[in-house]
A and B are shown apart, each in its own frame.
Chain A
């Protein structure tokens, strides 16, 4: 049933995702075309037009980037609380499975953006030096703190941390929205905001408590770069952070699931 639910998620959400990606690529193609025309024509009108379109493209890029955070939240509200909730909550599936199925779609959207965003930038500027420049920039930052990018596991864990952090942020919102709208008849929006603040506060404090466990070892090093050279320790920190985020995500999903079972309140 999980496979069918994942398929159901993609059926409902792929159009919005593809629209964002297509919009970014399309916008970059327009910018690239105008750049070529400007370089060959060289008129002040073309310069102005190119400048305007480039500015719009940058705005579009920022909106596209924001959409990978906004679209999953909007979809969650539409499909779990609005009229579509009458179908979602009457499907013969466990609520927990329904929530888990969203992860695949959420992550695919993020991965898609990680691929499309820099690709769109490269198309707009007309070369792939941007990718090289980005890679050089990341490498420089890693070297500054002493991490050698050749350490694949470390980089892999770092990427995993980005993905789980994205899920954690998404589920902070989903859980807070659920708590605010299911548990209260009035002041739902305000309660949702308060729940969000509470979730961030509680999870932040838990993370701090766990970080204190590494405090002794961190203080034994003289410089930050010394920590970074201790690859095993860096990998351990990254792994602990990933596990902690994953536990938070599971916890938030469990709370959402429980509230749906006991106090569902469609809008």
Chain B
């Protein structure tokens, strides 16, 4: 293996090429373990070296916790919910849905089908016009917000704050927030907690948001399009992060268009069209029944007739 290439893989943050004296064999400059990676950045936690070869696999099933589904009952109960925007745009007329605890559920549907509206109602951002929604037995309100971890599809932190200030906010408000875990994840991603959010790249901002959400031991994780607009490598990272860090007793509800990428991790599938649930089934049994992938089933269900 070329030593330069090995060095670049081990130390992606190195900016300057190595200077090679004439006639001398290539010197390998190793970044010692446990040493600060940037000048002035002295973390108080142990450095974990970046290992890109460990990130290549897409075997998500092996990452899912082995002790899943230990809790019974439904974490989400939606009964006779009605919701619209103004007088002309009706989203849900009579929505009924139960989501069991301890599952990874895919919320799939075309644009405008009601996915984001449902997620916003579960997170407490929207109130239904009629009907009831309970999360872990709590009506949607300030108490249910304490057991729901919500990741919207946009940057929702004050970008003038430093990362550690955001960690402090989550620590103060969420009882289930695991601060050491958050710092460990940031360490693994080489994100400096002392840096302002606005100085991070778009991808790193999204990673900070993901870290904050996945560092909680929530009963319900609401992820609204978590892998939209990111490259395949980042998608892989996001899905792996989700699987490795969520509380196995919790439920994840992922809303996405990119079904092929998330199909492997889904336990249950909900397909929604114009506010109606058209499919709500266990993913494996759905695949076995139809003899097709979830992606293919989705394309059939939502085929555009032109």
Q: How far is the CB of B102 from chain A (nearest CB, A)?
A: 22
How far, in Å, is A178 (CB) from chain B's closest CB? 15
B163 to chain A, nearest CB (A): 13
Tell me if A83 and B173 are in contact (CB < 8 A): no
**Contacts known (A89-B125, A90-B123); A185 close to B85, Cβ less than 8 A:** yes
Q: Which residue of A lies closest to B172 (CB)?
A: A4
B152 neighbours in A (Cβ, 8 Å): 86
Report whether B157 and A87 are in contact in the complex, using a CB–CB cutoff of 8 Å: yes
A85: B residues at CB distance < 8 A: 156
B159-189 vs A: 1/0 string, CB under 8 Å?
Answer: 0110001001100111000000000000000
Q: How far is the CA of A264 from the CA of B160 in the complex (A)?
A: 25
Point out the residues of chain B lying under 8 angstroms from A92, CB to CB.
142-143, 145-146, 173-174
**Whole-angstrom distance between the alpha carbons of A8 and B126 in the complex?**
23
Q: Complex formed: what's the CA distance from A185 to B158 in Å?
A: 26
Assuming the contacts A84-B157, A262-B127, A266-B125, asked whether A91 and B86 have C-beta atoms less than 8 A apart, the reply is: no
Asked if B155 lies at the interface with its beta carbon under 8 angstroms from chain A, I say yes
In the complex, the answer to whether A264 meets B127 with C-beta atoms within 8 Å is yes
Size range of the interface on B? Answer: 20 to 34
| Cβ of A217 under 8 Å from chain B | no
Asked if B154 is an interface residue, CB under 8 A from chain A, the answer is: yes
CB pair B148–A263 under 8 Å, yes or no, is no
A261 proximity list for chain B (CB < 8 A): 127
A37 within 8 A of B: no
Q: Are A264 and B125 in contact (CB under 8 A)?
A: yes
**Does A94 have its Cβ within 8 Å of any Cβ on chain B?**
yes
Residues of chain A with a CB closer than 8 A to B126's CB: 264
Query: Is A225 in contact with chain B by the CB < 8 A criterion?
Result: no
Say yes or no: A11 contacts B165, CB within 8 Å.
yes
List, in ascending order, chain A residues with CB within 8 A of B158's CB.
12, 78-79, 84
The answer, yes or no, to whether A189 is at the interface (CB within 8 Å) is no
Could you tell me the distance between the alpha carbons of A15 and B159 in the complex, rounded to whole angstroms? 12
- Given the interface pairs A12-B158, A15-B160, A92-B142, the reply to whether A86 lies near B169 with Cβ below 8 Å is no
Q: Is B246 an interface residue (CB 8 A)?
A: no
Is residue B221 within 8 Å, beta carbon to beta carbon, of the partner chain?
no
Contact A86 B145 (CB under 8 A): no
Find chain A residues with CB under 8 A from B169 CB. 8, 11
Minimum Cβ distance to chain B for residue A239 (Å): 35
Interface mask (A254-267 → B, CB under 8 Å = 1, otherwise 0):
00000001111010
The 5 closest A-B pairs by CB, nearest first: A92-B146, A86-B156, A92-B145, A86-B152, A87-B156
